[in-house]
Structure 1
Amino acid sequence: MKLARSRHTADRPGRLTHTRPQQDVTSFNDLQKRGDDAMGETDLLAQALTLGIHVRYRPLAPGLCGCYLDTGRLIVIDDALSAPQRRCTLAHELAHARHGDHGCRGVGGGKAERRARRETALQLIDPRAYASAEIVYEGDVWWIAAELDVTVQVVEDYRLLLHDGGTVLGGVW
C-alpha cells in the first residue's frame, strides 16, 4: 500500500498549540456535527465527502502531517496539527486524491507532489489577500502565512508560482 504524504512543518508564530482532538468525517452527518468552520476546513471536508473520500484524524509519525490512501479512498491527518496546518494538509491530500496519486516516491511521484503543492497554494491563497499581506508585512513570509491562515510552505509555493509568471495557469510548474 503506497501513501501520498505531506510534510508541512509547524511554522506559525504563536500558534503551535492544538485545541482539541478532531472528529473523523465519513459522512455529511459527521460534518454537520462538527459545528465549526476552521478557516475553510469544513469546505475542504465537504469536498472530500463529495469525492467519496473519508477523512480521519490520528497520531502520525513525526514529520508526517497527512497521507492519502487511494485504495481505501481515505485521508489521514495528524491529530496534533494546528487548524491552519490541518487545512493546508487536507487541501494537499485532496489534490492527491483528485488525481488518484499512489505515492510521492518512484516514477511520477515528484511530479504528483509538485502538482499537489501547486494546487494547494492556488486553492488556499486569494491573490488580493496575498498582495495586501505582502505590503502590510513587507514580504515577511511568517507573518504573511499567519495572516492568510496557511503554512509558510504554502506561501513559498505560491511565491514560486508568482515567480514563474505565465506558467502558473499553463500547468508547467
Structure 2
Amino acid sequence: MTNQTFAVLDALGVKVKYVQMPPDRDGEYDHRRQLIRVQMGLPERAHRSVLAHECAHAVFADVPSMFGPVNRKQERRADEWAALHLIDIESYKRAEVIHHGHSEAMAVELNVLLELVEAYQRTLQRIDDTVYLRPRMGAGQWAHREQVA
C-alpha cells in the first residue's frame, strides 16, 4: 500500500521527489540527502512497486557499493522487502489460483511489477505438503504456514 510506504518514509525523514529519470531508471534512493527520486508519470502498478523498492533502500540505509555482489544483494533485499509490504498471503493465494501460477498475470492482479511477484516467491519455502512464508532456522520460525496438496 502506497500510504503505508509514505508512512514509513515519513518516519524515516525521507522525502520523495518526482523527476525525469534517465531511461534505464524508474527510481533511486540517495542516502546522503535522505531523498527518493521517482520517474514522473509512472502507471500506478509501477509507481507503488518502485516507491516500495526505494523505501526498502531507505529502511536499510543502502548506499551503492563498488562491489557488484553487494549491490545485487541490496537490490534483491529491496525487492523482497517491497514484495512483503505490498503483497499479502491471501491475495497471493487467490491470484495464484485464478491465474494458475502465471507470474505476469498474477503481477497485474496484485497491482505490482513482475519483479515483486518473483521476489515474493523467493520468500516462500515448500517442504512436503506445507508452504512457509519467510522461514528461518528453528521450530516455529516462520511468518505464515499453509498446508497444500
Question: Same fold per TM (> 0.5)?
Answer: yes
Larger Rg: 2
AA aligned to 2:117 is V
CA drift of 1:147 comes to 1.2
Segments of 5+ residues of structure 2 without an aligned counterpart are 138-149
Structure with greater strand percent = 2
The size of the alignment, in residue pairs, is 132
Identity of aligned residues (%): 32
Determine the structure 2 residue equivalent to 1:20.
Answer: none
Segments of 5+ residues of structure 1 without an aligned counterpart are 1-39
Asked if the contact 2:125/2:133 (under 8 Å) is kept, the reply is: no
CA distance in 1, matches of 2:124, 2:87: 12
Deviation >3 Å, runs of 4+: 163-167
1:170 corresponds to 2:136? yes
Asked if the contact 1:104/1:110 (under 8 Å) is kept, the reply is: no
TM, length-normalised to structure 2: 0.79
Asked if the contact 1:104/1:113 (under 8 Å) is kept, the reply is: no
1:120 corresponds to 2:82? yes
CA drift of 1:120 comes to 1.1
AA aligned to 2:16 is V
* Superposition pairs of residues 1-173 of structure 1, within 5 angstroms: 40-103=1-64, 106=67, 108-163=70-125, 168-170=134-136
CA RMSD for the aligned pairs? 2.1
AA aligned to 2:57 is H
AA aligned to 1:143 is A
| CA distance 1:104–1:158, shift in 2 (3 Å) | farther
CA drift of 1:168 comes to 2.7
CA distance in 2, matches of 1:74, 1:152: 25
AA aligned to 1:74 is L
AA aligned to 1:76 is R
TM, length-normalised to structure 1: 0.69
